[in-house]
Structure 1
Amino acid sequence: MKKLLAALILVMLNWACSQQSTRPAAVAFHNVNAKYNAIFQADRLLISLTNKVREEKKENFSNALPILAPIDTSFSQSYAKEIANLVRKATLVIDRHQNSRFVDDAYLIIGRGRLLQHDLTNALETFKYINSIEHDPKTQQSALIELATIYLYQADYPSAQKVFNFIAENPMNANQEQHLLLVQAFAYQKQNAIAKSIPLLEKAAPRVKNRAERGRLFYILGQMHQELGQTAAARKAYEQCLKQKSSYSLTLHAQIAILSLTENIPGLEKLVKDPKNQDLQSDIFLAIGQIHFQHKDYELARKNWENGGTNNPNKGELYFQLGQLFSNQLKDYRNAANYFDSAATFLPSQHSQYQLAQKLRTQWGEFARLDGSIQLQDSLLKLGQRSESDLKAMYEKIQKSKKAKKDSVQLTIASSSNVSLATFTRRPSTPEQQSFYFYNDQARVQGQQEFSTKWGIRTLEDFWNRKNKQAAVLTDAPLMPSNVAQTNMVGESAQTQDSLQIWLNSIPRTEKQQADIQKKREKALFDLGKYAKLELAKNDLATNSLTHLLGDYPLTSFEAEALYLLYLSSDKPKTYRQLLFDKYPNSYFKQAILTLEFGGLTEGKELEAQKNYEKAFAQFKSGDFTACIAQADLLLQSFPGSKWEDKIVFLKAQSYGGLKDFDRYKKELKQFEQAYPKSQLIPEVKALLEKFTQNNR
């Protein structure tokens, strides 16, 4: 009987605790278990993760801070287990307490967990689902606010606005009102409507309970006012940020902002000297450089920005600014190319300037290649003018200098191995120097010496390790001065002679060799001038290169196009226009100038050009090539810029082929390729040139 009674009680308890039951006892049981077990633990874990997001957030104070910063993917990876545990705990409510009133709260926590995982797609679906189930309206409002935030992250502004409209139809509590104000301010910020964002942010910022987050929002307010030129309001906002006494980094940047607004360079320099700011000196130098830049003192701006590059985690942005400074204000294009290359290397892929930096790296990399080619040809030509004895003396001097440097490094390495750890001191290496071989001078020079000890001094060429090199290969030995002293002198002499001869052979000494170098230099000057104008839009660089071309090579084959490019880029266009018209009256580049000056043709003129083109084409078909050429020249003069122009020029080139004037035929086709790169006839022109080349090999 007792066993039967116990079984009956157990069945009744199970029935009462069923999550499908709607009886008050069952619902109360599951409400208590859901709230004070899974939901309680999940809430605590969510608060902990949210605080860690705030603490580990890496702010870039040189740019405008976003009101709502997206979760960094690195955070999602670092705390993957904790976030998964958060989602698991919230899921328990759905699995085990379906009849409780905390199911929608569980889904809200799961959605926020998906946000922490940077899984926007599933987070979006979760918040949508919350609004499809009939539960607490306040939870639904919170889900809608989170939904709008995700749409803003995805730049889907119409969908976000629809959500805002829906939210406005339902009541909210104080926390939700404050959160909504921030999200709406963020929406205007994302759309660059700063003036509309400011009032919302001014209303929301004082309501934020967390002191660090409140200080951050006041700092953003200062940035917004500063962007609109509202200096007094910006300073007031920065001062409010200082009053919050949040993180030291934020407080320091607020101080920097206030001193920058007043252009107080002595105050900024005082901050640089403060030992507490050693890790943030780069940002202070950036601010000082910006003040000098605004006053057009570009050299001081450069100096401070270069100082700001030391140990700067945002060096990619700094290098980008320096690249712009060197290319636009200082006109130092070689340094500009180097800085744009560094900017593309160090800027993170999610940065707003990343794509532009990659493009500029490619553009200025081509400039560096062309400029380097000109420098190389100039150096070779200068060396080619010197006698063999001078060259040998120069080579020996260079080798002695290299050997002295290597011996010095060897002595340093040998001495350091005999110095006790207690007395050995050196400047601490940066993380880059510790991890990257080429930043470590000692390791790099040691590697160079080990290579030259084994292989000798070799030029960079294919098959550098071929057997007929007269280098004496030494056994691997500890890098010590005593071992260097025991080097085989015969082998060393052979190495020196062999390397000297290779170097001498690379210098153009005969007339033919020097003519080849001059030809390369001529083309490089033209290519650089053309590239500077058409790709870099640097008129001064183009003018300098092209005037050097015409001055050094008065008979250059590039003269017509060079004059056209100078007409476009020089501050004396009429001079080059007249030269082009006088020397090349039938040039395509003359037609291009006329097109620029007179613009497009009227419909009537186009019809007239078409009729005359058909006349020239009939002459070509009948074999009257001379008359066709004359008609084509008349058309080009009479109808500059016609939509038939490329066809007329192509017909003229074909006519020279019909006359068997193959040199002129080839020249006309090549000029067509240069003048009309977007013409539909380009594939046919290239095919004709290729066929012509094959037939004349």
Structure 2
Amino acid sequence: MHIRFWLLGLLALVSACSQQSTKPAAVAFHNLNAKYNAIWQADRIKNTIQKKFWEEHKEDYRAILPILPAVDSTFGQQHASEIDQVIKKASLVIDRHQNSHFIDDAYSLIGWGRYIKKDFKNAVETFKFVNSIDNDPRSQFTSLLHLYQIYTFQHDFVSAEKVSEFIQTLNLNREQKNSYLLARAFYHQNKNEIIPTIALLEEVIPSLKAGEEKARLFFILGQMFESQGKNKLALENFALVKKNKASYELQFRATLAVHQLNNDAVELEKMIREPKNADLVSAIYVALGQMYFKNKEYEKAKNYWTKGGSNGSDRGEVYLQLGNLFASQLKQLDEAALYFDSAATYLSPNHPAHASAQKLKATWSNYLKLSQALSKEDSLLHLSQMSLDELSSLYQKTHKKLAKKSDSLNNAKIPLASQVSFTRRPSTPEQQSFYFYNDQARIQGQQEFNNKWGVRTLEDFWNRKNKNNNLNSQIVNLTQNNPNPSNENLKPLSTSTENKDSLQIWLNSIPKSAQEIAQVKKRQEEALFELGKFVQLEIGEKDQARQILKKLLANYPGSTHEAEALYLLYLSSPKESPEQKAYRTSLFDRFPTAYFKQLILKIENGSLTESNELAAQKAYEQAFTQFKSSNFTEASRLCQQILQQFPGSNLEDKVVFLKALCYGGLKEYSNYQDNLKNFIQAFPKSPLTTEAEALLNAYSKNKN
């Protein structure tokens, strides 16, 4: 009898385990197992991941904080195993408890896992599926909210707005409404709609409990009011950050923002001296730099930004600001090029300014090459005018300075602890056997090297006996900084053969004959033109370009680049100024057939009317007929007439190309070559450019 009861109980238990059964006992069994086993475990792992996200998340205070911070792809990669556990646990419910009421929760967890891994495509499909299988308002809201956030992150605002319409039809409780309002504020923030974003934040913040989330939203409100120029409201919101249990860094940033708005340099300096801010000193220097830059005190801004970039984690950003400062305000272009190079080096690939920094580096690297080429030719010309005694004296003086610098490096009595880099991790006893981990051995080796070889640059054949080790460049720099070097006779530091040989090598590199000086001047003329042109067209610094091009025309009247230099000076001069008119008149009078004259007419006259385009077409047909008849003079005259009467026509590239061919037919090869070069430069996208380049290359080969 007892055995029968046991068998009946076992049969009832087995029938309850069936996930296809809809009986109350079966459903209750699977609900219990789904909720308090797989779902409970998945939720616990999910909460741990969310906590880690906020612990590892680094805020970018250089811009307005996003209301909903984006998930970094690296976070998903670093915590892939934990996220996979959430997906795996949730999948067990779908696999083993299909008749439970928690299928929708399982799919929501799977969608969340894919969302955190930035697998947006599959996450969207998962949340859409959840919304289609269940009418539970709680599950519906969760899936729709995630969809809304994903579409907003992707800037798919049309799809996001459709999801928002569905959410507004639901009966939301206070917590759900707050979540939706924050997502809605984030939607407007991504559309750069500041006013509705502020309104939504002001609506939701009062209903939140004091804590990091509320303090963070107050900080964002402060940033937004500051961006709108409403400094009083910004100060009020920054002050509320401290009153809402914010983290120390958020409080620090709020205090920093308050002092910046108050233009209070004294308080910012006090913050630097506080020991608790030791790890955030670079941010204070950057804030001081921004404050002085806003006040147009550029030298102070430069000094503080330089300090901030020396050891801060955001040095790439600071170097970018310094590059712009040196380029636009201080007008020190060589220094700007160096800072742009450093910015491109230190900015991470994920930084929003990384791509633009790489372009700036490439552009300014080209500028620096042109600038250094000009400096070299300037220095050579200056040295060529000095006597042998003056050159020897300058050489010895520079050599002595280098030797003194080397001695000061070798003999400096600096405690070993001061020499060790504080960014280096302390090496273990096992690592001390490796030379580059042993600071004492490394410093001693450097001193021994300097004693034997002197201060040497890292280059090929550095140990060659007669190598004039970096001395040429040092003397070139000295002559640039000191155009009138002292003539005092300094005794040679050494009578060794090496010193005499290196002096002779250096003297041999200085031009002395008329032919050598003429070659240097020709290179200087080319360097002036190329640098002025680059600064005007590529960098857009009109004042600097004008100075360089003026120097070109003053030093080299009748330069082969005079026509283009006048055109560039016309572009760089203030519009309709007497200076601009003078350059225009000079270009038109001296070079009436130059193509640069047509470019100015094109700028001044704008696009042609339809009737003028038809007239230009007929005139071109006449010119081409004359060219086919080998009447090159008449064809050239007609081409010139078209360019003057119809500047900027749709056939302009064909007219200029035909004019170049006319010079070839007339065997005026100098004009032929110049006109082909001008055509290639003026019309790089013309279908005739390839043919022009081929003709120019063929002419150059035949000429040689």
Query: 1:608 is matched by which residue type in structure 2?
Result: A
Q: Does 1:425 align with 2:425?
A: no
Query: 1:541 is matched by which residue type in structure 2?
Result: Q
Corresponding residue number in structure 2 for 1:632 = 639
Corresponding residue number in structure 2 for 1:609 = 616
Query: 1:686 is matched by which residue type in structure 2?
Result: E
2:656 to 649, 672, 692: 649
Per-residue deviation at 1:96?
2.3
CA gap 1:560/1:168 in 2 versus in 1, 3 angstroms: same
The gaps in structure 1 that reach 5 residues or longer are 417-422, 472-491
Distance 2:12 2:188 in 1: 58
- Contact 2:456–2:462 under 8 Å retained in 1: no
Q: Any runs of at least 4 consecutive aligned residues in structure 1 with deviations exceeding 6 A, and if so which?
A: 1-5, 432-435, 440-445, 454-459, 468-471
CA gap 1:621/1:376 in 2 versus in 1, 3 angstroms: same
Distance 1:273 1:386 in 2: 53
TM-score when normalising by structure 2: 0.87
Greater CA deviation, 493-502 or 270-279? Answer: 493-502
2:517 to 514, 518, 529: 514
- Contact 2:316–2:346 under 8 Å retained in 1: yes
The correspondence of residues 269-348 of structure 1 with structure 2, limited to 5 A, is: 269-348=269-348
CA gap 1:581/1:121 in 2 versus in 1, 3 angstroms: same
Corresponding residue number in structure 2 for 1:477 = none
- 1:192 aligned counterpart, secondary structure: coil
1:577 to 571, 576, 584: 584
Q: Does 1:667 align with 2:668?
A: no
Q: Does 1:126 align with 2:126?
A: yes
Corresponding residue number in structure 1 for 2:164 = 164
Per-residue deviation at 1:441?
14
- Contact 2:416–2:440 under 8 Å retained in 1: no
Q: Does 1:696 align with 2:700?
A: no
- Contact 1:616–1:632 under 8 Å retained in 2: yes
Distance 1:341 1:172 in 2: 53
- Contact 1:60–1:314 under 8 Å retained in 2: no
Q: Does 1:528 align with 2:531?
A: yes
Distance 1:300 1:372 in 2: 28
CA gap 1:240/1:548 in 2 versus in 1, 3 angstroms: same
Distance 1:616 1:121 in 2: 61
Over aligned residues, Cα RMSD in angstroms? 3.2
The correspondence of residues 536-555 of structure 1 with structure 2, limited to 5 A, is: 536-555=539-558
How many residues end up aligned between the 2 structures? 664
CA gap 1:433/1:309 in 2 versus in 1, 3 angstroms: farther
- Contact 1:589–1:675 under 8 Å retained in 2: no
Per-residue deviation at 1:171?
1.8
- Contact 1:409–1:445 under 8 Å retained in 2: no
Query: 1:508 is matched by which residue type in structure 2?
Result: P
CA gap 1:540/1:694 in 2 versus in 1, 3 angstroms: same
CA gap 1:542/1:443 in 2 versus in 1, 3 angstroms: farther
Distance 1:470 1:368 in 2: 29
Query: 2:417 is matched by which residue type in structure 1?
Result: T
Q: Does 1:101 align with 2:108?
A: no
- Contact 1:529–1:542 under 8 Å retained in 2: yes
- Contact 1:101–1:135 under 8 Å retained in 2: no
- 1:229 aligned counterpart, secondary structure: coil
Distance 1:13 1:147 in 2: 40
- Contact 1:326–1:335 under 8 Å retained in 2: yes
Q: Deviations over 1:310-347 (max 9, x none)?
A: 43222222222222222222222222222222222222
Distance 1:385 1:262 in 2: 57
TM-score when normalising by structure 1: 0.87
Distance 1:171 1:428 in 2: 65
CA gap 1:432/1:510 in 2 versus in 1, 3 angstroms: farther
- Contact 2:19–2:96 under 8 Å retained in 1: yes
- Contact 1:455–1:465 under 8 Å retained in 2: no
- Contact 1:340–1:357 under 8 Å retained in 2: yes
Per-residue deviation at 1:584?
0.9
2:625 to 597, 618, 632: 618
The gaps in structure 2 that reach 5 residues or longer are 428-435, 468-494
Corresponding residue number in structure 1 for 2:52 = 52
Query: Taking every aligned residue pair, what percent have the same amino acid on both sides?
Result: 45
CA gap 1:245/1:583 in 2 versus in 1, 3 angstroms: same
CA gap 1:78/1:600 in 2 versus in 1, 3 angstroms: closer
Per-residue deviation at 1:217?
0.9
- Contact 1:409–1:442 under 8 Å retained in 2: no
Q: Deviations over 1:533-553 (max 9, x none)?
A: 212121101101100111111
Distance 1:332 1:240 in 2: 42
Query: 1:429 is matched by which residue type in structure 2?
Result: S
- Contact 1:222–1:233 under 8 Å retained in 2: yes
CA gap 1:72/1:676 in 2 versus in 1, 3 angstroms: closer
- 2:133 aligned counterpart, secondary structure: coil
Query: 2:108 is matched by which residue type in structure 1?
Result: L
Corresponding residue number in structure 2 for 1:488 = none
Query: 1:528 is matched by which residue type in structure 2?
Result: L
CA gap 1:442/1:582 in 2 versus in 1, 3 angstroms: farther
CA gap 1:433/1:604 in 2 versus in 1, 3 angstroms: farther
Corresponding residue number in structure 1 for 2:86 = 86
Per-residue deviation at 1:163?
0.7
CA gap 1:300/1:3 in 2 versus in 1, 3 angstroms: same
CA gap 1:448/1:154 in 2 versus in 1, 3 angstroms: farther
Q: Deviations over 1:397-437 (max 9, x none)?
A: 4444444444444445xx88xxxxxx8531662538999x9
